[in-house]
Structure 1
């Protein structure tokens, strides 16, 4: 298997971060029924924007995680632009999240945190 990776980012609130921590920083928790898509983003600036503007007001804290995913796995998904040129993300169907997690190389790391 080709181990070339792509760096992705995921803004999370305290609850999701707790679940990532419980899993040993090896993967993301299953989506809730009202969350059919998992959205990792392609750049830190966009992840920071989401953490500050959405996670902090919603839950009091926001965190930015960074992790590596095998490029070969991601090649079956398109990058979606959802706004400005920096607003790029992958749309991973919830049913593919376990496979996504198996294709994370190394650990998920917290690289920024924001609080009210």
Structure 2
């Protein structure tokens, strides 16, 4: 089986849920989140984790995981901006099946934290 490496930028709450799964799956989407979007490259994941997750929640983390390449063929790559802004759009109702195709574990490869000091 061939595998593809994908990335997912997450905040602290999603990271805690991934850890609670034994680093095996992504948590279900919230009702206002109809799409799960893993991204195709680490640079884009870093950009989201650092520039969006940190201001929103105090930290941002880049996760990396392998997934069955054959399964991924059902999802078209979506470009949502510049040359590095490629992601997959996985419908929320498909996420459990998506999780079943993850090979190995989800790992954290980079973390970013707010420089703001609480007093």
TM-score bucket (shorter structure): over 0.9
**Alpha carbon RMSD of aligned pairs, Å?**
0.3
| 1:13-52 C-alpha deviation (Å, 9 max, x unpaired) | 0000000000000010000000000000000000000001
Aligned-partner Cα distance in 1 for 2:106–2:67: 10
**1:110 aligns to what SS in structure 2?**
strand
| Matching residue of 1:81 | 79
State the TM-score, normalized to the length of structure 1. 0.98
TM-score by length of 2: 0.95
Q: Which runs of 4+ in 1 moved over 4 A?
A: none
The equivalent of 1:13 in structure 2 is 11
What is residue 68 of structure 1 aligned with on the other side? 66
Alignment coverage as a number of residue pairs: 114
Q: Gapped runs of 5+ residues in structure 2?
A: 115-119
- Structure 2 counterparts to residues 14-93 of structure 1, below 5 A: 14-93=12-91
Q: Which runs of 5+ in 1 are unaligned?
A: none
